[in-house]
Structure 1
Amino acid sequence: MIKHLGFILCLLSFSFLKDKQGFVQQTSCKGYYDKELHLFVYTDVDEMPEFPGGIAKFYRFISNVPLKGADKESLQSVVFPTFVIDASGHVKNVGIYQKEAKDYTQLDRNMIKLLQACPKWKPAQCNNKKVAMSYRTRVTLCYTN
Structure 2
Amino acid sequence: MIKHLGFILCLLSFSFLKDKQGFVQQTSCKGYYDTESHLFVYTEVDEMPEFPGGMTKFYKFISNVPLKGTDKEPLQSDVFPTFIIDTSGHVKSIGIYQKLPKDYTQLDRNMIKLLKACPNWEPAQCNHKKVAMSYRTRVTL
Confirm or deny a common fold (TM above 0.5).
yes
Identity of aligned residues (%): 77
Q: Which residue of 2 aligns with 1:105?
A: 105
Give the residue type in structure 2 aligned to 1:20. D
Give the residue type in structure 2 aligned to 1:38. H
Given the superposition, is the C-alpha separation of residues 70 and 133 from structure 1 closer, same or farther in structure 2, using an over 3 Å criterion? Answer: farther
Question: In the comparison of the two structures, how many residue pairs are matched?
Answer: 125
Give the residue type in structure 2 aligned to 1:21. K
- Summarize deviations over 1:102-128 as a string: whole Å, max 9, x none: 000000000000001100000000000
Q: Point out where structure 2 has 5 or more consecutive residues left out of the alignment.
A: 1-13
SS of structure 2 residue aligned to 1:43:
strand
- Summarize deviations over 1:62-112 as a string: whole Å, max 9, x none: 0000111178985x6100000000011000000000000000000000000
Residue 66 in structure 1 maps to residue 66 in structure 2: yes
Q: Which residue of 1 aligns with 2:119?
A: 119
Counterparts of 1:44 and 1:20, CA distance in 2: 25
Runs of 4+ in 1 over 6 A off after TM superposition: 70-73
Q: Which structure shows the higher helix fraction?
A: 1
Q: Which residue of 2 aligns with 1:20?
A: 19
Tell me if structure 2 keeps the 8 A contact 1:47–1:125: yes
Q: Which residue of 1 aligns with 2:7?
A: none
The within-5 A match list for 1:1-145 is 20-22=19-21, 26-69=26-69, 77-141=77-141
Q: Which residue of 2 aligns with 1:3?
A: none
SS of structure 2 residue aligned to 1:94:
strand
SS of structure 2 residue aligned to 1:64:
coil
Q: Which residue of 1 aligns with 2:3?
A: none
Q: Point out where structure 1 has 5 or more consecutive residues left out of the alignment.
A: 1-14
Give the residue type in structure 1 aligned to 2:19. K
Counterparts of 2:70 and 2:135, CA distance in 1: 23
Tell me if structure 2 keeps the 8 A contact 1:70–1:107: no
**Normalized against structure 1, the TM-score is what?**
0.78
Tell me if structure 2 keeps the 8 A contact 1:85–1:132: yes
Over the aligned positions, Cα root-mean-square deviation in angstroms equals 2.3
